[in-house]
Structure 1
Amino acid sequence: MTDNSAYVIVGASLAGAKAAQALREEGFDGSLILIGEESERPYERPPLSKGYLMGKDAREQIYVHPPQWYAEHGVDLRLGTAVTALDPAPHEVTLADGSRLGYAELLLATGSSPRRLPVPGADLDGVLYLRTVQDSDRIKDAFSSASRVVVVGAGWIGLETAAAARAAGVEVTVLERAELPLLRVLGREVAQVFADLHRDHGVDLRLGVQVAELTGSLGTVDGVRLSDGTRIDADAVIVGVGIVPNTGLAQAAGLQVDNGILTDERLRTSVPGIYAAGDVANAFHPLLDRRIRVEHWANALHQPQTAARAMLGREAAYDRVPYFFSDQYDLGMEYAGYAEPGGYDQVVFRGDVGAREFIAFWLARGRVLAGMNVNIWDVTEPIQALVRSGQQVDTRKLADPQVPIESLLHNAE
């Protein structure tokens, strides 16, 4: 008979570690178990494609808590441990060694995995993906020995690793199926900024192309062949073509799954006593009046506070404005809000786009859905306030750098 009094968190990630912290801060003093497949204690992932990858951040800086924090707060941290099954009826999870662990409340923070490139040669040595700190170490090692790197996919991970490779002095070719990098995320008007940025820094950016095969010699990748027959030499290939939420446990246990584990605004799944947070949660967002799954650091950082309160039976709803950031070369940006493809009818720029010091706003029917500040700082809060207000704004004032963003809320039409 297993003990069903413990609160169990599956996924020793940023979300999992922050959930454990939040439960203790909310006063939960019972048994708390945090289970992770990786051998590393919980760490943050943004540095893996930014400062850590470039050698600017020390390894110790990536961790969520110091090593002693878990014992000091009574968190039973079980690393290198896989959960292989979830049985909601008896409130139990099964571990890889066959043992069963009971729970009173369960949080799934299982994250996501890199989408694999489905072409011949994808299993060759030197084909690299980025998700773990070990992945980042391997890519860093490749930069020190390679002279030519091909990056497949011009999303955030692809572009950030391309920037890191150029900083290391490596020749870089980026291959992207779409007409522009980040086209689906940013739209044509803003995506062009990132195409120009990478070309200005010497990246061979090839758009509208499709990878047909990765070629190799003696089991190691040595190039990429495109669908038109073009071959590009490479000492290493980095693949960044998206991620897939790790929903296997949930789906096998009968939880509702659709592009992630479905939850309400309290991060409760379709099965009582089970919650989800972070990359894996496709959560109802009260502000947006729809479910969204956000694959960014801010969700993993903040959602666990809501999940912890809900697990303790307290009122909670996750309604923070979505947020993410990126650093590439001399461009730093922050994005707040949510503007899906086809969901906006206007993009308004404030500032100097050519100098890469501007704010872009995505609007629908005069209402700001999202804003992205590029090399302009301390404006995230007013941008989020505009998004949250849902008010129509004067677009002439929105485009005028002399008009404080804060004042637009008071001068809304």
Structure 2
Amino acid sequence: MVEYNVGKASELNDGQMKEVTVGNSKVLLTKTGGQIYATSHKCTHYGAPLAKGVFSSEGRVTCPWHGACFNVKTGDIEDSPGLDNLQSFKVTTKGNDIYVEVDEAVLKSGRRPPKCKVHPSPFDEEGDTVVIIGGGAAGNTAAEKLRENGYGGKIVIVSRESYLPIDRPKLSKSFGYDIEKITMRKKEFYDDLLILLKLGVSATEVDPTSKIVTLDNGEKLKYNSLIIATGADPRSIPIPGIDLKNVFNLRTYDDYKAIEKAVGNGDEKKNLVIIGSSFIGMEVSSISYKKANVSVIGMEKVPFGRVLGERVGAVFQKLHEDAGIKFYLKAIVKAIEPSETDPSIAGAVVLREENSQDETKIKADIIVVGAGVVPSTGFLKNTAGFTLERDGSLKVTENFKVEGLEDVYAVGDIARFNYFGTNEYVRIEHWSFAENTGRAAADAITSKKITPFKRIPYFWSNQLNKGLRYCGYASSFDDVIVQGSLEEMKFAAFYARGDKIVAVASISVDPLVSHCSELLRLGKFPTATEIRNGLDPLTVPLTA
């Protein structure tokens, strides 16, 4: 252990944070409640400098890029998308000098992965078992949190995908990823945490009375607690030609590689038609436009219109059009026609624009369908004890227990829960939110306590090198208040329902959305009237 003098106590006020040099590295100093703390200085998600984030009076530091949140007193992660905790270092004040004691290897690592607090070996086959159906964000995080909380029974993850859990948002952010580059954890990590992975298999049946999950290979798994984290499937559109060979969805790594191969290296630009003008479609457009001639078909007046509003959506449309991407909006796809030279592949998309009977035919060498997703719960249909909502989701209590069932939890994209921010039952399809729900279910299983789930949804999107941040949830809004310049793409958009702000989006004004996320969580957000009058939310302190 080495001790470093890192600064003067008088230069760090309560509620402040500061990045300081320690040897050949850096740490983050924070002060709250009169106490100084030291942690790793970078977010464990994608490495953002936490000193450029926001700091609340409760001792929470929030990443400026994607909203991951950490407790500075312990280094523990409190909000995803980060997987690992921060390292925490001993702080001593001698007179006016601040000293930080570090282990050089720990300092260099900058992160503290979950550790298994118990080492039951061998497992009792008849002992306590948690079965997790789904190897995505929610299922993976639930397994890790169970071990971190000291769960001593058997943990089994059942994943229909043949590879280890991946960082799925990266699939639409860039081409060129090998599977190892987007795998969240190595196999040895799961072995160390005594998490058993059953890859390439799916659940076909759940019997909540006998507490047995049946897999498609005939295997039966007995559980004491069950976490259903099956995520969502791409929404299909019922049109002729949807099953032709060069029509793709983007959900799995195999989908990603197939699209990448089809687009090619751009030496001979192919015609890529994207059906859907929301996030998946627009992100695929963003990563493909240099290699292909891209056309986007959408039902809305502008891209993202339902989520971001027409003014903000129009900004993204212009950004893409300036890059040579063509749009067909307020349009309905009627059919996908086979190629004249090979009837097994698509050759064109036929559409009809709103208020017109005329059809337009767009030549297509590749088609990507981004028409949204639906909960992957078909295997539960007609299963005694399970009541699927109209969209296929499962209604859950505040600790994500499936209503009407004991010891069964639903998390991630399939869970419909009461969102405290607007007091409505919602289903949220964000990556980081899925991880947070997985942690919540693990906490419920290990603590047996009901803890109010107060997390603010947070997501991000990359559009032609412009990073969108968004916090909150707006199933509807009646006004969009803009501060900054839409034309320069440096702005914040505030989504109002009456006089209440329910969501915030921004481009190029970090850490505003992270600050707004904390204000929403604390119930301290200014009114829509105050925002219209020019109040900057960054001036509102993050005090509980």
Query: Which structure has the larger Rg?
Result: 2
Where 2:331 maps in the other structure, the secondary structure is coil
- Structure 1 residues 309-360: Cα deviation after superposition (integer angstroms, max 9, x where no partner): 112213433221111100010211110011123xx33221111110101110
Q: What amino acid is aligned across from residue 426 of structure 2 in structure 1?
A: I
Where 1:210 maps in the other structure, the secondary structure is strand
Where 2:289 maps in the other structure, the secondary structure is helix
Change (3 A) 1:391 1:372: closer
Q: What amino acid is aligned across from residue 193 of structure 2 in structure 1?
A: H
Q: Are 2:339 and 1:223 equivalent residues in the alignment?
A: no
Tell me how far 1:185 sits from its aligned partner.
1.2
CA distance in 2 between partners of 1:165 and 1:266 (Å): 41
Where 1:387 maps in the other structure, the secondary structure is helix
Match of 2:380 in 1: 250
Match of 1:238 in 2: 368
CA distance in 1 between partners of 2:295 and 2:514 (Å): 36
Contact 2:496 2:528 in 1 (8 A): no
- Structure 1 residues 226-273: Cα deviation after superposition (integer angstroms, max 9, x where no partner): 133211111101100010101223333231221311111100102111
Tell me how far 1:44 sits from its aligned partner.
1.8
Q: Which of 370, 376, 386 in structure 1 is aligned with 2:509?
A: 376
Tell me how far 1:397 sits from its aligned partner.
5.3
- The farther-off stretch of 391-400 and 132-141 is 391-400
Contact 1:348 1:395 in 2 (8 A): no
Q: Are 2:412 and 1:290 equivalent residues in the alignment?
A: no
Change (3 A) 1:249 1:318: farther
Match of 2:518 in 1: 385
- Structure 1 residues 106-144: Cα deviation after superposition (integer angstroms, max 9, x where no partner): 000000100112111111110010000110111111111
CA distance in 2 between partners of 1:323 and 1:394 (Å): 20
Contact 1:391 1:409 in 2 (8 A): no
Q: Are 2:220 and 1:87 equivalent residues in the alignment?
A: no
Tell me how far 1:390 sits from its aligned partner.
5.8
Q: What amino acid is aligned across from residue 86 of structure 1 in structure 2?
A: V
- Structure 1 residues 365-408: Cα deviation after superposition (integer angstroms, max 9, x where no partner): 322111001122122232113333165437465664xx642334
Query: Structure 2: which 5+ residue stretches go unaligned?
Result: 1-124, 353-357
Contact 1:349 1:399 in 2 (8 A): no
Q: Which of 310, 314, 334 in structure 2 is aligned with 1:212?
A: 334
Tell me how far 1:188 sits from its aligned partner.
1.8
Q: What amino acid is aligned across from residue 224 of structure 2 in structure 1?
A: A
Q: Are 2:433 and 1:311 equivalent residues in the alignment?
A: no
Contact 1:393 1:408 in 2 (8 A): no
Q: What amino acid is aligned across from residue 321 of structure 2 in structure 1?
A: R
Q: Are 2:293 and 1:161 equivalent residues in the alignment?
A: no
Contact 1:127 1:237 in 2 (8 A): yes
Where 1:39 maps in the other structure, the secondary structure is coil
CA distance in 2 between partners of 1:9 and 1:165 (Å): 35
Task: Map 1:339-354 onto structure 2 (within 5 A).
Answer: 339-341=474-476, 344-354=477-487
Q: What amino acid is aligned across from residue 363 of structure 2 in structure 1?
A: D
CA distance in 2 between partners of 1:296 and 1:397 (Å): 26
Q: Which of 29, 36, 60 in structure 1 is aligned with 2:152?
A: 29
Q: Which of 424, 449, 468 in structure 2 is aligned with 1:333?
A: 468
Q: Which of 173, 185, 198 in structure 2 is aligned with 1:78?
A: 198
Contact 2:302 2:329 in 1 (8 A): yes
Change (3 A) 1:60 1:268: same
Q: What amino acid is aligned across from residue 405 of structure 1 in structure 2?
A: P
Q: Are 2:226 and 1:106 equivalent residues in the alignment?
A: yes
Structure 1 or 2: more helix by fraction: 1
Match of 2:492 in 1: 359
Match of 1:48 in 2: 171
Number of aligned residue pairs: 402
Percent of aligned pairs sharing the same letter:
31
Change (3 A) 1:220 1:134: same
CA distance in 1 between partners of 2:525 and 2:363 (Å): 52
Q: What amino acid is aligned across from residue 350 of structure 1 in structure 2?
A: Q
Where 1:107 maps in the other structure, the secondary structure is strand
Match of 1:405 in 2: 537
Contact 1:398 1:408 in 2 (8 A): no
Tell me how far 1:58 sits from its aligned partner.
4.6
CA distance in 2 between partners of 1:86 and 1:9 (Å): 12
Contact 1:269 1:275 in 2 (8 A): yes
TM-score (norm 2): 0.71
CA distance in 2 between partners of 1:330 and 1:391 (Å): 29
Contact 2:303 2:316 in 1 (8 A): yes
Contact 1:366 1:392 in 2 (8 A): no
CA distance in 2 between partners of 1:394 and 1:231 (Å): 45
TM-score (norm 1): 0.92
Contact 1:246 1:280 in 2 (8 A): yes
Q: Which of 117, 124, 130 in structure 1 is aligned with 2:244?
A: 124
Contact 1:111 1:245 in 2 (8 A): yes
Query: Structure 1: which 5+ residue stretches go unaligned?
Result: none
- The farther-off stretch of 383-392 and 310-319 is 383-392
Q: Aligned-pair RMSD on alpha carbons?
A: 2.0
Q: What amino acid is aligned across from residue 494 of structure 2 in structure 1?
A: F
Contact 1:278 1:295 in 2 (8 A): yes
CA distance in 2 between partners of 1:386 and 1:345 (Å): 21
- The farther-off stretch of 355-364 and 57-66 is 57-66
- The farther-off stretch of 386-395 and 154-163 is 386-395
Where 2:437 maps in the other structure, the secondary structure is helix
Contact 2:399 2:452 in 1 (8 A): yes
Q: What amino acid is aligned across from residue 383 of structure 1 in structure 2?
A: C
- Structure 1 residues 267-303: Cα deviation after superposition (integer angstroms, max 9, x where no partner): 0102111001111111222333221111111112211
Match of 2:302 in 1: 180
